[in-house]
Amino acid sequence: MMIKFETEVSDIIQRTHNVNSFRFKVKEDVDFKPGQFFFVTLKIDGTERTKHFSFSNSPTEKGYIEFTKRITDSEFSKALNRLKIGDWARLKMPYGSFTFEGEYEKIAFLSGGIGITPIRSICKFATDSMLPTDMVLLYGNNREEDIIFRKDLDDMQAVNKNLRIVYTLTSPDIDRKTWQGRIGYIDDKMIKEEISDFNERVFYICGPPRMVESLINILRNKLGVQQDKIKIENFIGY
């Protein structure tokens, strides 16, 4: 059921050098599915502006909802940078079908950058709910300091034996002596090496449109994954 209500900013959390999470107060009974998105309306120079964002928190984390965004030079990003705790907002929710509530035995996430936000929501829900689903996440970023929710993801992996996370970095000057993860873009070779049973899994892909398109092509044309086993969410910046 769609709901719309007014609220206020309850917290602003810096996740990386250029990514922040914004939290809004909600009633304990406000519910949504992990992986969904919502619309947020803010006042920018006296004018209301509305954008949509994925929930980066899980339905198991009560009392607030959260979105997470890379701060850029856009007008909307600059407005977000000026937000203060207590500022007004209007929320409309929930929307979207990029969801998971335990309906598959094995899933794989392919994500890049800020595309981790709905996947963080799903992984947190699965971990808190102690779902038996076998989950593998391949998460690509440019540099190690760009990895969003690194501690959250590592903490989930530590307590959830069904969750395995593989980080990969794409910057050409990664120090191989200090970086213990993968290096390079997510491709068919990496998927086969890290997810040997890929043909048994449902794939969730989330990231910039070009990345999503590339990964769909790899799964469909190089690995033979059926279209009905691929769920996608494109992240377009603003």
* Percentages (nearest 5) of helix, strand, coil residues in the chain: 25, 35, 35
pLDDT, tens only, 81-95 = 899 999 999 999 999
pLDDT, tens only, 153-168 = 999 999 999 999 999 9
Q: How far apart are CA 135 and CA 165, in angstroms?
A: 8
Tell me the pTM.
Answer: 0.96
Fold of the CATH domain 106-234? Rossmann fold (3.40.50)
3-class secondary-structure state, position 71: coil
CATH number for the domain whose boundaries are 3-95: 2.40.30.10
Taking alpha carbons only, the member of 164, 155, 156, 56 closest to residue 108 is 164
Residue found under tokens 């929307």: 95
Q: How far apart are CA 135 and CA 120, in angstroms?
A: 12
Q: Domain-by-domain residue ranges, the chain?
A: 3-95, 106-234
Residue 237 has pLDDT above 90, yes or no: no
pLDDT, tens only, 35-59 = 999 999 998 888 999 999 999 999 9
